[in-house]
Amino acid sequence: MERWANVGFGDVCELVSQREGQPWRRLAPTERFIATGPEGAFDRLMAYPTHNPPWRVGDKLHIYYTGVCATPEQVGRKDLDMAIGLMTIGLDRFAGLANRRGHRLGAGGSLLTKPFVVNHDLLEVNAEPLMRGRLKVAIMTPDENVFPGYGHEDCTLDVMDPDAIHHRIGWTVHKDLSQLRGKTVRLHFQVKSTALYGYRLLNVS
């Protein structure tokens, strides 16, 4: 969504989303997804998307946008300097939940999903370690009891590769979710100094 300033600098872009059949909503009102640049930058006055979808290059998304700069004398006129800018983000990393200081304070963050039925064997998370980040996943019943062998202490994900997008989740006894097929479960994430963007369920190829 383009957000235009009434005066001065600051024509920027925010993220909006929609689930089918529901209204559009702003994910983080006033938080800039594409922001204007610093003084003297080519995108100092405006930064807004080119209305093209992101271009996937490997595990990155390339997002092209229009940048505009202007001298004080040019503001309000049509002869503005315009250029195409490029921002990149990791695949499917438009928005996430993060714990940023858990590695120092000993406290972390947690997330509990809604119940769903397991119909795949593999679990992968899209997560980014920030500073010696850690992530553990437990599999729980709908009333939040841990399935045997699927606790946080059983999760074998240790050090996350900061260059990887997806991380495969396994447990000491259970290497995947195959033992839970057909059962209704909830995922309970524990993170420290990590950004969690999403998760996906896959079948063994």
d(CA 192, CA 99): 6
Q: Does 157 lie in the same domain as 108?
A: yes
Give the domain-ending residue among 49, 66, 90.
90
User: In Å, what is the CA distance from 194 to each residue of 101, 102, 136?
Assistant: 9, 9, 11
Residue 20 has pLDDT above 80, yes or no: yes
Residue 29 pLDDT level (bands cut at 50, 70, 90): confident
Q: Does 162 lie in the same domain as 137?
A: yes
d(CA 46, CA 101): 33
Q: What is the CATH number of the domain that holds 183?
A: 2.60.40
Q: Does 43 lie in the same domain as 79?
A: yes
Q: Average pLDDT of 136-157?
A: 97
d(CA 201, CA 25): 26
Give the domain-ending residue among 74, 90, 106.
90
Q: Alpha helix locations (H) across 17-126?
A: 102-105
Residue 77 has pLDDT above 80, yes or no: no
Q: Average pLDDT of 136-155?
A: 97
pTM: 0.82
Q: Does 151 lie in the same domain as 61?
A: no
- pLDDT digit string (tens) for 163-200? 999 999 999 999 999 999 999 999 999 999 999 999 99
Q: Does 61 lie in the same domain as 101?
A: no
Q: Does 113 lie in the same domain as 161?
A: yes
Higher pLDDT among residues 45 and 184, named by residue: 184
- pLDDT digit string (tens) for 80-119? 788 999 999 999 999 899 988 654 555 789 999 999 999 9
Q: Does 114 lie in the same domain as 37?
A: no
How many domains is the chain built from?
Answer: 2
The gap between the terminal CA atoms of the chain, to the nearest Å, is 38
For residue 204, the model assigns a pLDDT of 78
Give the domain-ending residue among 40, 56, 90.
90
Q: Does 102 lie in the same domain as 66?
A: no
For residue 199, the model assigns a pLDDT of 97
- The chain-wide mean pLDDT, for the chain, equals 89
Q: Does 147 lie in the same domain as 194?
A: yes
Q: Does 177 lie in the same domain as 127?
A: yes
Q: Does 133 lie in the same domain as 83?
A: no
Residue 41 has pLDDT above 60, yes or no: yes
Q: Does 113 lie in the same domain as 31?
A: no
| Segments forming the whole domain that contains residue 188 | 97-202
